[in-house]
Structure 1
Amino acid sequence: QWVIKDYQVGGELYKALPKRHKKRRKQRKYGDLRGKIKDRVSIHERPVIVEERTRIGDWEGDLVEGKKGSGYIVTHVDRATKYLMAQKIESKTADAFNKATLSMFMPLTPSKRLTLTLDNGKEFSLFSKIENRLKIDIYFADPYCSWQRGTNENTNGLIRRYFPKKTDFSTITDNELQKVVHKINNRPRKSLDYQTPKEAFSLDNVSGALGT
């Protein structure tokens, strides 16, 4: 009380009081939140032609997650034609992702597997094995920039119409998943002059798909 009274009359005794230090909140460095993938190549080094969507063979990949512990769906979408490939995996591991990815891409001709763009999840950490096996160039989007893989994100949204969040993926058969993939690939798209992704992907180039 006497310190307060002293302050009220112009005194400076308050300066001798111990100061209370505010706890500083640690700032989150968003770029460091996810483990960096060794030898990753940034999307900013990707050929400009990929952004133009003028050729078939530039893919975006990701995982769709089911109810906790029930599995995942690996999805790969061609940027130009919106053509979808998908396969179930039980665990979110690099080995499981690689196995599914290789089984989907191996049947394609080399001219239709040119680049693949992924995000920074640890399930993509063994990407170099895919590159070496498929002779495909893999690039990584910036952290927390899902719009850089917008084609894949939008297609995953279509899959969610059939398998909403928290769906138990362990109850979904491979046949049921491929029926959904078939429906998505056979749906006419305005961006393809109302051709389907399957029709567009079956052609040799995007110009043919768009009738130009």
Structure 2
Amino acid sequence: MSYEHLNSFERKAIYYRHNSGESYRSIGRLLNRHHTTIMREVKRNKPPYYTYFDESAEDLAAERRKKPRHAKKFANKTLYQHVVHKLQEGWSPDAIAGRLKKNHPNDKGECVSHETIYQWVIKDYQVGGGLYKALPKRHKKRKKQRKYGDLRGKIKNRVSIHERPNVVEKRSRIGDWEGDLVEGKKGSGYIITHVDRATKYLMAQKIENKTAELFNKATISMFITLDTSKRLTLTLDNGKEFSLFNKLENRLNMDIYFADPYCSWQRGTNENTNGLIRRYFPKKTDFSTITDNELQEVVNKINSRPRKILDYQTPEEVFLLDSL
């Protein structure tokens, strides 16, 4: 058996075969490696509930080889504590690394790569820590929705998303929104979410039930505070709670469009943001126990997370400062 470092080809083989359910012994025989080498490679580079990725493992291995064997675990404790705090705030390793680089472009001592952050998380896990729980989990693969037509009926006078101006699709301006509802435990209420397509800026408010009247009242209270240049269009799905959209258009001077039935991907910005909200309020959460202040705290956290697509600015910075 060989005892040299695993190479990228071997890690690629481990990735495909381990994630398809093949045993460590079987992979070891294929690569002429002891099965404990394969097992150690996977466990060293994969916290629980997360997939082993060959590319991430390769990066982590390279980082380990670059560092002296007896180097201190964390040369900059302040930096490490900052990373831990941001992980606990819901930031991804990429967001943390990208923002540090943006804030300290000429000071490498205040920066850290996302690969190193993953390595810190893995080391923390190996000594019994729980930092891995702060990492974004992989999304479950969505089942394809079968189309039986719109079972909820058509909204009268709705305007199709296909009639929406092309500029909305380009995400080149602030003021084009996507709206939806997040449902709590049965009978406990809903959270209305509105997300700006370009900046990912979120507004949210609780309602007791999803009547069109309550939806309109809450939506108007959120949008009416914005400058008219920041409330141009709103795209919704086909729920009956949106049936009084004409009143919204008249009150807010916004053009409202409707996605095709069963095409949630047409409102992908909103769907992804709802996923972030679910990290704080999982399915079957009793929304009646959540205060308005608690919801706003979550909204603030989401709006304060740097996004790679915004050059590691936050949605709040881009939206409020018009720095798109």
Q: TM-score range by the shorter chain?
A: 0.7 to 0.9
**SS at the partner of 2:203?**
strand
1:154 match:
272
Match of 2:234 in 1: 116
Aligned to 1:17: none
TM-score by length of 1: 0.83
Which residue number in structure 2 is paired with residue 170 of structure 1? 288
Larger fraction in helix: 2
Alignment match of 1:52 (pick from 170, 181, 186) = 170
Any idea what SS the aligned residue of 2:279 has? helix
Aligned residue type for 2:252: L
Partner of 1:68: 186
List per-residue Cα deviations over 1:106-164 (Å, max 9, x = no partner): 00000000000000000000000000000000000000000000000000000000000
Q: Root-mean-square deviation (CA), in Å?
A: 1.0
Higher relative contact order (CA 8 A, sep 6+): 1
Instruction: Please list every run of 5 or more consecutive structure 1 residues that lacks an aligned counterpart in the other structure.
Output: 1-27
- Partner in structure 1 of residue 222 of structure 2: 104
Please state how far the C-alpha of 1:188 moved relative to its aligned partner: 0.4
TM-score of the aligned structures, taking structure 2 as reference length: 0.54
Is there any run of 5+ residues in structure 2 with no aligned partner, and where?
1-145
Question: Once the 2 structures are TM-superposed, how far is the Cα of residue 35 of structure 1 from its aligned partner?
Answer: 1.3
Question: Aligned pair count?
Answer: 179
Aligned pair in 2 of structure 1 residues 109, 68: CA closer, same or farther (>3 Å)? same
Q: Distance in 1 between matches of 2:148 and 2:160?
A: 16
Map of 1:32 onto structure 2: 150
Greater radius of gyration (CA): 1
SS of aligned partner of 2:178: strand
Alpha-carbon distance between aligned partners in 2 of 1:33 and 1:171, rounded to the nearest angstrom: 32
Is 1:125 aligned to 2:260, yes or no?
A: no
Q: Label 1:31 to 1:180 Cα distance change in 2 as closer, same or farther (>3 A).
A: same
Q: CA deviation at 1:29?
A: 6.5
Measure, in 2, the Cα distance between the counterparts of 1:196 and 1:136. 25
- Does residue 1:194 correspond to 2:312, yes or no? yes
1:59-94: per-residue Cα shift (whole Å, max 9, x none)? Answer: 000000000000000000000000000000001100
